[in-house]
Structure 1
């Protein structure tokens, strides 16, 4: 097995209809070679349909799909030069790990000895050297996931597709395996398209995140760009659970803007803002609460929850309810406490 290829992907004005329902109205998207790009969004946003069209499991109603510069729009799945890792891993329980990894190669006509040599190489790439004789049931969930990745990689695809690959793992294992997938992708440099509805997962593994809504791209960018500079209220709430509040842009000075939020003035990135009414997205950890009965921006604790390294608050204010994460307070403020609302410098963004 050679090192994985690095194919570019392009969706060119792609539309997908299911009867009278349009799942993807008009999608144009470029994925650079060697990038891990995550399609993220709520259920029904079109991310899985997009992945299935790339895999050749669905045909677009119109438009073109290119892989490595080749138009594959009408090619069947087995001629797409892509491999897919499914939610369920789809390992054969009665076959050894090595047989599972070699299966696709043997099905394609490769001699058994050559296929198993490639399988052992693939298992070594994903850190499972020496485990080829075991059955899948003798491996942990994370190891089974890596077997599925090895099985896909030995086919030497231009693009690796991962469809909700961590959905069957518990929370702790999910964190570890997502790190392993990211480390593997960076080490080998293959192109990957990753589908998930989990925002934290997308932030952890991606070079670039494409957030979809109603079959359209709502925003695309690096994890930091989407978290620090959401383009809309939807993105602000979907990526990292932000509080959206009415604000007034007082002045713009180059790249910064002075903004009033319920009487408190803060400085935030200008993002082409103009003086006048606007909205600010405030991350939960960018809001401070201190006990105070008379404050410029008052609030009242509705509920609090101690979660070890931080306290979660629901705060009632004249601007609406706020969700706050306080990592500095050791003792939760009880419900009914009057508080003063403040803001930390990072975690505030103007949105349209």
Structure 2
């Protein structure tokens, strides 16, 4: 039975020759939650995961798992299990034997290991695929075998390193749902590393966005998306146009902001009156060939992508990237348009 553990980093630093990957990292993962480390390449997320796994050791600071100091313990004594980007399945072993491998290495008898491995395959919905080789399984099935192999070890913490990067887009959506459903059903603690914002939003209880080895912002997915603390966060947590605005009035947790000629009432936690910046999500901008709007503009680029049209529109506040999923008509280049905004797609950026 899985007993979820907490994860705590206390002022952890990691320096390599001539390079500091993590200057001073402190974070907490609560038991039974799925926390995603998100950020661009080189931000420190993979180094953080390797430190937690025991594949690297910190230059300074402490790492605790389930309240136990594991800073100097080797990987095999940390009560964690890892799902690698490449799955790392043994190609000559069938699915059941792959799941059994770690159990046999831990000292269980073959019968005990088989029973546990079959239970693990059942957990991930592959109880009838145990005799098949990895080459006979789809990418999604291979990923679930790798998850089952980790879960049967009953770790306090499951580590997932870019687990969906080798799957096509449609399969990624399905497998990330499988992983999230499994985590919620079994209640294990998971630390998940990805650079894919959509993936992080879909699976996480909490997202920790990293930049240059530091935490840029952390919180629930909705908080980071709707209340970004910086331009970096606003742009990283889904595509965003950054536009200037004026905060004209504050009422409780709401703010009345002006963009161009129009006012909008939006979330305003922590806002101050005066000049500010807004993150404007491209799918919440509307275009009209005629009429009034917050801004006037002219279409400079147009791309038809089957289920939506992407526009670039030059306005007095700069160029705006716009996604039109309604597709009632495709507006021609150089068309003069009225640009308006839907309040739910506007997020004030904290100063």
Asked if Structure 1 and Structure 2 have the same fold, meaning a TM-score greater than 0.5 normalized by the shorter chain, the answer is yes
Are residues 112 and 281 of structure 1, via their aligned partners in 2, closer, same or farther at CA, if it must alter by over 3 Å? same
Alignment of 1:102-117 (within 5 A): 102-117=100-115
Deviations 1:221-272 (A, max 9, x none): 1111111111111111001111111111112122221111123221122222
Deviations 1:309-346 (A, max 9, x none): 32211111121111111222322111100111111120
- Secondary structure of 1:244's counterpart equals strand
- Secondary structure of 2:121's counterpart equals helix
- Please, what is the CA RMSD of the aligned residues? 1.3
Listed as ranges, the gaps of 5+ residues in structure 1 are none
C-alpha separation between the residues in 1 aligned to 2:334 and 2:157? 55
* Deviation beyond 6 Å, 4+ runs, structure 1: none
Structure 2 partner of 1:220: 218
Do 2:294 and 2:340's aligned partners in 1 also have CA atoms closer than 8 Å? no
C-alpha separation between the residues in 2 aligned to 1:295 and 1:13? 50
Structure 2 partner of 1:292: 290
Q: What number of residue pairs does the alignment pair up? A: 350
Q: CA deviation at 1:296?
A: 5.2
Structure 1 partner of 2:53: 55
C-alpha separation between the residues in 1 aligned to 2:101 and 2:207? 32
Do 2:293 and 2:340's aligned partners in 1 also have CA atoms closer than 8 Å? no
C-alpha separation between the residues in 1 aligned to 2:145 and 2:157? 17
C-alpha separation between the residues in 1 aligned to 2:92 and 2:151? 21
- Secondary structure of 2:88's counterpart equals coil
Structure 1 partner of 2:328: 330
Are residues 111 and 13 of structure 1, via their aligned partners in 2, closer, same or farther at CA, if it must alter by over 3 Å? same
Do 1:199 and 1:239's aligned partners in 2 also have CA atoms closer than 8 Å? yes
190, 193, 200: which is aligned to 1:192?
Answer: 190
TM-score normalized with structure 2 length: 0.97
Structure 1 partner of 2:204: 206
C-alpha separation between the residues in 2 aligned to 1:274 and 1:94? 63
Deviations 1:35-55 (A, max 9, x none): 011000000000000000000
C-alpha separation between the residues in 2 aligned to 1:173 and 1:63? 39
TM-score normalized with structure 1 length: 0.97
C-alpha separation between the residues in 2 aligned to 1:209 and 1:225? 10
6, 11, 14: which is aligned to 1:13?
Answer: 11
C-alpha separation between the residues in 1 aligned to 2:148 and 2:83? 10
Listed as ranges, the gaps of 5+ residues in structure 2 are none
Are residues 121 and 291 of structure 1, via their aligned partners in 2, closer, same or farther at CA, if it must alter by over 3 Å? same
